[in-house]
Structure 1
Amino acid sequence: MPKEITLCSPLDMHLHLRDGDMMKLVTPLTAETFSGAVIMPNLVPPVDSLELLLAYKKRILSSLGGHQFDPYMMLFFRGDYTEAELAAAKEYMLGIKLYPAGATTNSEAGVKAIDAVEPVFKMMEEMGIPLMVHGETHGFVMDREKEFLASYDYLAQKFPKLQITMEHITTADAVALLDEHENLRATVTLQHLIITLDDVAGGMLDPHLFCKPIAKRPEDREALLQAALEGHPRLMFGSDSAPHPVEKKECCGCAAGVFTAPLAIARLAQLFDKHDKLDNLQAFISDNAQRLYGVEPAEKLVTVANVPFEVPTAYTGHDQHVVPMHAGETLDWNVTSIKA
């Protein structure tokens, strides 16, 4: 009999669904196996008002393909939010996402100076609204996250009741900082638990592994992996699954993003099993997020077993063509049952 594990209500705490035809293709690929996900607001234009948030959520719900799924919405951080705006939006969102201007896809409208928007942080702290952050500077690409850690340290100390999520951490230094402040938590992606920069550019360039923050050194991957495997209580799975049309990936000026949504649960099970830590996967993929954010997803029981899974070379539909991580490879684990 194959080894198996049943996960209760998996959550993806960092997900890109895009919009339009791409959203129609990729949304069911997450909604099938996850109970809910935190939806990134960096559309064009950004989702920076309650009106835009509610309209986007409506479009997501219409794209679920019949699956049971809760989209946890976020606003795109603006430095001029009023208390009235935040109060009106609070019940409809999980938090607010801060992007440094120009740091990643569709972030040109982001924040240029952290200290210039502190009044909004203060309002969020007083109102109990979590802050999620894409934590990179514009320095040398391998040092951008490390350089931003000083900003996390500053914010965590100045606003001790503000719950701050360090999104998609990639370094050993970020793991260490997580233990220094009780109001810090973090998400980590599938790819950053598996690859290093060598996998992206050490031989022939692999555009489908190129993402931001960029993959780092082996010692960084090891620190992230150990924190996840040991069930760090303030570390959560956030796929940062970021679909781009194949022509935007296999080109000069390759778009940043790794598409992992359809295989994330199977690949995580394979990874945790390899290290004899399957018992800690439930905390990483759901329990920690439920406790930290106070969310109560609908029950969805997802059974994953030690049986082969041939990853498609691409996912197509709605005039879209997206290549996933591990395209054309055979994984050792697969989702075998879903009960919602």
Structure 2
Amino acid sequence: MADSLTLRAPLDMHLHLRDGEMMELVTPLTAETFSGAVIMPNLVPPVDNLKRLQEYRERILAAKGDHKFDPYMTLFFRDYTEQELAEARDQIIGIKLYPAGATTNSEAGVKAIDSVEHVFKMMEEMGIPLMVHGETHGFVMDREREFLTSYRHLAEKFPKLQITMEHITTADAVSVLDEFENLRATVTLQHLIITLDDVAGGLLNPHLFCKPIAKRPEDREALLNAALEAHPKLMFGSDSAPHPRSKKECCGCAAGVFTAPLAVARLAQLFDQHSKLDNLQAFLSDNAQRLYGVNPPAKEVTVERGAFTVASAYEGHGQTVIPMHAGETLDWKISQID
């Protein structure tokens, strides 16, 4: 049983950095341990044109400090023209589709998938990946399962369009991965560990509340098994989503789990617990590099067996954010970053 592992160019393929003071606080916490991350565009206003995207990228690069880190930028899905897509193609890793009102800052999202199929066709022809928050507005535990019909429709109608099912949470979604060549997926740290019982089975834990919501034990097991085996079409995407403490510990708390500072160490512990540490490199980087064709900055992150106490809070720039596992001691830690 290995006591340490050196990971090459860890990647987070689904990340929220927010903007302003919050971005200043959380960006270095990802840039320190990851070589790159796919940046979500659901700001207010959304990142839905090239000017906003370029300006946002510059703010991220300024906030990352001296860390070797590439922000892979995305546009917020809307009814783009062919010229807009052509101009943006080389500056984005994909376009993120949100069903209207499905999650944080998604009110400007898509109301009817079939009304924007002409945009999917242009994206397919230009080789621009589509990233999807796949939920309907049905009963909360069924929303992802119900959306699988839309994934199947898109995968069949646009066979050359690369479609990422973002932050999948169900056994049904795992099974769909193998149905279509052009489907792939990301999965978060929290959905590999928790179920709905951890969120609301006792006293409500607002810092584990996210969308899509955590599901049943059998769903967690299917996700975990796919990750542990480094399913070739599955990538790590933290969906790390910081909110101020005041927005989490309140009535109507915001959806999002903040995992950026502990994700690598916690994944090492998880894979070690299941004797699958050798598969972590593929899940945390190699699959994403192959599926997206990215070449991240060279960075080696060594994790080793040893106590690591997660901070009870991350504070700075006038912000306070509570992480997952706040104040708890993990069994693996980061020992070196080169």
**Equivalence for 2:245:** 246
Deviation at 1:65, TM superposition (A): 2.1
Partner SS, residue 292 of structure 1: helix
**Equivalence for 2:36:** 36
The count of residues paired between Structure 1 and Structure 2 equals 338
| 8 Å contact from structure 1 (residues 2, 307) kept in 2 | no
In structure 1, what residue type is equivalent to 2:11?
Answer: L
In structure 2, what residue type is equivalent to 1:184?
Answer: L
**Equivalence for 2:287:** 288
**Equivalence for 1:56:** 56
| TM score, norm. by length of structure 1 | 0.99
**Equivalence for 1:102:** 101
- Structure 2 Cα separation of the partners of residues 249 and 39 of structure 1: 22
- Structure 2 Cα separation of the partners of residues 237 and 190 of structure 1: 8
Point out where structure 2 has 5 or more consecutive residues left out of the alignment: none
**Equivalence for 1:135:** 134
Q: Deviations over 1:88-115 (max 9, x none)?
A: 0011000000000000000000000000
Partner SS, residue 111 of structure 1: coil
**Equivalence for 2:26:** 26
Deviation at 1:298, TM superposition (A): 1.1
Deviation at 1:189, TM superposition (A): 0.0
- Structure 2 Cα separation of the partners of residues 162 and 2 of structure 1: 40
| 8 Å contact from structure 1 (residues 242, 258) kept in 2 | yes
- Structure 2 Cα separation of the partners of residues 138 and 302 of structure 1: 40
| 8 Å contact from structure 1 (residues 266, 333) kept in 2 | yes
**Equivalence for 2:113:** 114
**Equivalence for 1:230:** 229
Change (3 A) 1:113 1:309: same
**Equivalence for 1:315:** 314
- Structure 2 Cα separation of the partners of residues 2 and 230 of structure 1: 18
Q: Deviations over 1:204-247 (max 9, x none)?
A: 10000000000000000000000000110000000000000000
Deviation at 1:2, TM superposition (A): 7.6
What aligned pairs does 1:141-152 form with structure 2 within 5 A after superposition? 141-152=140-151
In structure 1, what residue type is equivalent to 2:282?
Answer: A
| TM score, norm. by length of structure 2 | 0.99
What aligned pairs does 1:175-194 form with structure 2 within 5 A after superposition? 175-194=174-193
Point out where structure 1 has 5 or more consecutive residues left out of the alignment: none
Partner SS, residue 296 of structure 1: coil
Q: Deviations over 1:145-175 (max 9, x none)?
A: 0000000000000000000000000000000
Does residue 260 of the first structure (1) align with residue 242 of the second (2)?
no
What aligned pairs does 1:50-89 form with structure 2 within 5 A after superposition? 50-79=50-79, 81-89=80-88
Partner SS, residue 332 of structure 1: strand
What is the root-mean-square deviation in Å for CA atoms of aligned residues?
0.8
In structure 1, what residue type is equivalent to 2:151?
Answer: Y
What aligned pairs does 1:200-211 form with structure 2 within 5 A after superposition? 200-211=199-210
- Structure 1 Cα separation of the partners of residues 181 and 5 of structure 2: 31
Partner SS, residue 242 of structure 1: coil
Deviation at 1:265, TM superposition (A): 0.1
**Equivalence for 1:3:** 3
- Structure 2 Cα separation of the partners of residues 299 and 308 of structure 1: 27
Identity %: 79
- Structure 1 Cα separation of the partners of residues 102 and 163 of structure 2: 18
Q: Which runs of 4+ in 1 moved over 6 A?
A: none
Partner SS, residue 333 of structure 1: strand
- Structure 2 Cα separation of the partners of residues 259 and 234 of structure 1: 24
- Structure 2 Cα separation of the partners of residues 331 and 91 of structure 1: 40
Partner SS, residue 23 of structure 2: helix
In structure 1, what residue type is equivalent to 2:48?
Answer: D
- Structure 1 Cα separation of the partners of residues 78 and 88 of structure 2: 13
- Structure 2 Cα separation of the partners of residues 335 and 86 of structure 1: 40
